[in-house]
Structure 1
């Protein structure tokens, strides 16, 4: 065992210029640190099985859940239940950094809406 951070975590790029770092990557749970640059967004989707929790570390974002928009600021988070359509958007002029915690992992569980 050893501490993990972005410098040693498995990194991937998604969308046009978004980053993700796998802090915990197990079948039963996933913890990902993500960075979404200004004016970037994720494709609206849902997960059939996984439950997710989004927690803003820095910046501000919009989490659209079933057509309702929620503004999230640093230190705030929201849960998204399985089967619920959602989309993460950064409509600000600054990067947003956040954690997304999924139980179980979302691998193979995503359906674009």
Structure 2
């Protein structure tokens, strides 16, 4: 496949949760790199992945990440790693939009197990 420049304007888009957006910047059987946008006050369901290791990197805004019942505040220019099997939940508790880059290896779609509160 020839090299190409990719952005949210040209990447495959999907929606999730409550008005959240995702763009597949890299989508292969080995790895996914996704840019996500979370409006203020949104969150995902607590879950874990059986195989996927993930890295969440904040591009803009402030991410609250709950990992194994411990909360972490991740700011622009910072990231947090989630190991396979670790329960986690991404939240935007701020009043500003949140933009994050999520790398999953192997891809996390189809590898997710939602957890009850």
Please indicate, yes or no, whether the TM-score normalized by the shorter chain is above 0.5: yes
1:21 aligns to what? Answer: 23
CA displacement at 1:27 relative to structure 2: 1.1
TM-score by length of 2: 0.95
1:106 aligns to what? Answer: 108
CA displacement at 1:37 relative to structure 2: 0.3
TM-score by length of 1: 0.99
Q: Does the alignment pair 1:62 with 2:64? A: yes
2:6 aligns to what? Answer: 4
1:91 aligns to what? Answer: 93
1:75 aligns to what? Answer: 77
1:38 aligns to what? Answer: 40
CA displacement at 1:76 relative to structure 2: 0.4
Cα displacement string for residues 26-59 of structure 1 (whole angstroms, at most 9, x for unaligned residues): 1110000000000000100000000000000000
Taking only aligned residues, the RMSD between alpha carbons, in angstroms, comes to 0.5
Cα displacement string for residues 67-101 of structure 1 (whole angstroms, at most 9, x for unaligned residues): 00000100000000000000000000000001000
List runs of 5+ in structure 2 lacking aligned partners: none
**Secondary structure of the residue that 1:40 maps to in structure 2?**
coil
Aligned residues: 113
